[in-house]
Chain A
Amino acid sequence: MDIVLNAVQTVFALENLIFLVGGVASGVILGAIPGLSATMGIALIIPFTLTLGPVPALLMMMGAYKGGIYGGSVAAILVKAPGTSAAAATVADGYSLAKKGKGIKALKVSLVASVIGDTFSDIVLILSAAQLARVALEFGAVEYTAVAIVALTIVGSASGKSLIKGIFAAAAGLSVALIGLDPTSGLPRLSFSVIEFYGGLHLLPMLIGLLIMSELIIQMEQVKSVSVAHLPNSTERDDNRITKSDAKLMARPIFGGSIIGTIIGIIPGLGPTLGAFLGYDSAYRFSKKPELFGKGSVEGIAGAESGNNAVSGANLIPLMGLGIPGDIEAAILVGAFLIHGLTPGPLIFQEAPDVVYGIYVGLLFANVALLMIGWTLIPVFVKAAKIRVGLLFPAVFVLSLVGAYSFQQSVFDVGIALVFAAVGYLMAKLHVPKTSFLIGFILATLLEDNFRRSLQLSDGAYSTFFSSSLGNVLWVLALVSVISAILQRKSRRDKKEAMMSNREIETIASNGKV
């Protein structure tokens, strides 16, 4: 008990509080700016934290991480340009709501879902890090291969109208991810002897081109033709708040998203973007109004945003329980632990319990800080998005270029962003779903690495893929997911056809022709 009280005291010491709140605020703002990301925020903060004590340093970085994941949804909703890859799943519904004048409602839904997802996974972390961390050890190469396949099946619901185009886009994403070093031999592949290709294409510059810059081009076209300028601002009170019926709708997707995000966080190597897509997918599958998805569904935003934030707390579970970082952000945190003479892992509970409890208390408080800071900033963001389109678009465009460059100070990455701006433009014109492309790209490395490693471990015997019971459960899950996606598509098509034919009959009848 003493140690908890001490931890509370540490966290609420004015200095530490400033770093924590400062971390959350800078995360929200960096995440909200299209092109800058949570990872980048943490990387920027590192040199600054070297001189701090371990608790404030880690709290600042984790605050920035949490803030950044929520912040990413701000630009996704208001400008249709996701600030981070984890916000990609929020774009369609968030922006649709904003177009209807319900931008503030969408932001509030996103914030509340983010904070609940965060809090849920933090509590799971605090109560059971040591036990749950062992779960990560159940995942070997075979299980990861199966997880990647399960995750790929969400292409079924992420593809929108045409499943064929969705599958095509996912395959294209998988293929593009093959550029770089071969994971087994370490030799370069599809690199055309261009040294920058050796490291593979990075998600961030590609995302900036594909989702942000291409979107700007499309919106600029519309500016010319219909002179759309600002998002409408509804004066209806209900359009600017979470109503009782919204809250009812949000409950289930947030619950689902929090659980899914937490599971994704526990398994190292999956990350918040996948948490968002899977949270969105589950919201869609269990929704009573699936037809609203992609056109302004509150449930969709709630599922995606709780899903990605729940990863942030849970990915500390393997870090604290085993010493294994769950994603890039957690790997950066390892460095922060080491520089302060601490080794993350089970021993830290004995060696530095004060740090552990400081982090726990700090994480919970960071969620409160996120809620308060996020809520206060909503009108600011809305106002910022309202500046003249002639200023806003060039500003976002420049920020995108800066973001692509500053990720690893590379002009090559700016080129990548520009190429994918063109690719994204074409995809939008041809109605090829970009999210499917992204899902393919994100999962490719996980799938290929583990598929090939499984075969290496089994000396080439394919039967290895069905040799573990956890793996087999996952295969069944993948199968169920595919079948249910097909059935859902079919039932929606039938409904549509039924509606269509009714309308046709009416039209025909009203025209007086038989």
Chain B
Amino acid sequence: MNIKLKKIALSAAIGLAALTSGMAQAETFPEKEVTVVVNYGAGGGTDLSTRSLAEAMEEALGKPLKVVNRSGGSGTVGPTFVAFADNDGYTIGVTSFSPMAVTPHMQDVPYKVDSFRYLGGFARYLTGIAVPADSPYKTTQDLIDAAKSGANIKYGAASSIESVAITRLATAAGVEFKWIRYKSGQEVSTAALSKEVDVIVGDPKEIAPFVKTGEMRAIASASNVRLPGLPDVLTLKEQGFDVATESYAGIAAPAGIDEDKAAILEAAMKEAFKAQSFQDTLTKLGLEPAYFSGAEYQKLIEDGFADMGADLAALGITKK
């Protein structure tokens, strides 16, 4: 019953899109399989969540979606592939926040923010801050006080965006922390467990399980909202530091795509987002379901690109 209703609602949405356009070409779109390019390898959070989204979109579009992985170059190879693909609507792909707004400040990439027609955002990556359970630093304030009194606080983080998250805190508090860079979130968790670093910044799914086992203490959410699985841990804002860092996952088609086709794809993604199976998958993967329309997502990327430029320059890791 529910599914039927959804289908009716969707056909109505698609019908509306087709009506407003009135173009014959768009009425029958898509006529064949649509390829979805994932910018990270098979089996990771972005891959699995996109596969789940694609499955739900299949139902909405009535045509199969083929997910392919184009990983590499810190997630920039996928968007490159999409940017240069035919803009006939049959190739779309993941344009997550990091390769769109962060990496271009550090590497030359062959695409720009406006190389895409954004179809929408579907998830928010959250970021947490944690210390080893027996650390002398129990709170965010402890870390800042220690740094103020001359301690060399070292933090472990795998991505630039996580580093930006804690650097914003340090800057706001007028102190400096030292970044020890790791290759993956798992390496960062290990570094906390073996106490190689004083504090770590990472994905909640790399923190929450260890808080449960009593080996880590989460001291803050660096995002605008609290962390899944750690409802008692306050955000930095709630703790009185006016900083927050967020990152998002979304999909886009190459710029120049027929606007009617884009509208159909955007409507399908909006519909797919509501699917219970998709929402469940996201939660299991430690991602927060968050819907943004194409235009909203584009604004997130544009604003993020500008903000990140300044933050990364402060960290001294921009190109040239």
Contacts and interface: CB of A to CB of B under 8 A. Distances in A.
Interface of A: 42-43, 46-47, 50, 136-141, 181, 183-188, 193, 195-196, 198-199, 268-269, 322-325, 331-336, 338-341, 343, 345-347, 408-410, 449, 453, 456-457, 459
B68 interface: yes
Contact of B196 (A43, A335, A346, A457): A457
Contacts of A141: 196
A351 to B, nearest CB: 10
A423 B154 CA distance: 43
A347 B213 contact: yes
A332 B43 contact: yes
B38 to A, nearest CB: 11
Contacts of A199: 71-74, 77
A338 B286 CA distance: 9
Contact of A332 (B42, B152, B286): B42
Interface in B189-220: 189-191, 193-194, 196-197, 205, 209-210, 212-213
B72 A410 contact: yes
A456 B284 CA distance: 35
Contacts of B47: 335
Given A188-B107, A345-B213, 18 more contacts: A137-B190, A139-B194, A184-B181, A186-B74, A196-B73, A198-B72, A199-B72, A335-B44, A335-B45, A338-B284, A339-B48, A339-B284, A343-B209, A346-B213, A408-B69, A410-B72, A449-B183, A453-B182
B80 interface: yes
Given A324-B186, A346-B213, A408-B72, A456 B178 contact: yes
9 contacts: A42-B43, A186-B160, A195-B107, A198-B74, A268-B186, A338-B284, A409-B70, A449-B183, A453-B182
A183 B212 CA distance: 31
B51 interface: yes
A501 B209 CA distance: 68
B319 interface: yes
A183 B181 contact: yes
B106 A47 contact: no
A226 to B, nearest CB: 43
B194 A137 contact: yes
Interface residues of B, number: 53
Interface string B252-287: 000000000000000000000000000001001110
B41 interface: yes
Contacts of A410: 70, 72, 77
A448 to B, nearest CB: 11
Contacts of B284: 338-341
A408 B73 CA distance: 12
Contacts of A196: 72-73, 77
A140 B107 contact: no
Interface of B: 41-45, 47-48, 51, 67-74, 76-77, 80, 106-110, 152, 154, 160, 178, 180-184, 186-187, 189-191, 193-194, 196-197, 205, 209-210, 212-213, 281, 284-286, 317, 319
Contacts of B74: 181, 186, 198-199
A333 B43 CA distance: 8
B68 A186 contact: no
A230 to B, nearest CB: 39
Nearest to A341: B284
Contacts of B210: 323, 345
Given A184-B181, A335-B44, A408 B186 contact: no
Given A338-B205, A338-B284, A347-B209, A46 B43 contact: yes
B180 A453 contact: yes
By Cβ-Cβ distance, the 5 closest A-B pairs, closest first, are: A199-B72, A335-B43, A332-B43, A198-B73, A137-B194
B190 A335 contact: no
B190 A347 contact: no
A184 B179 CA distance: 9
A472 to B, nearest CB: 18
B209 A339 contact: no
A42 B43 CA distance: 9
A324 B202 CA distance: 14
Contacts of A335: 42-45, 47-48
Nearest to B186: A324
Instruction: Among A42, A186, A332, find the residue whose CB has the most chain B CB atoms closer than 10 A.
Output: A186
Given A137-B190, A324-B189, A347-B212, A186 B317 contact: yes
A195 B110 contact: yes
B189 A323 contact: yes
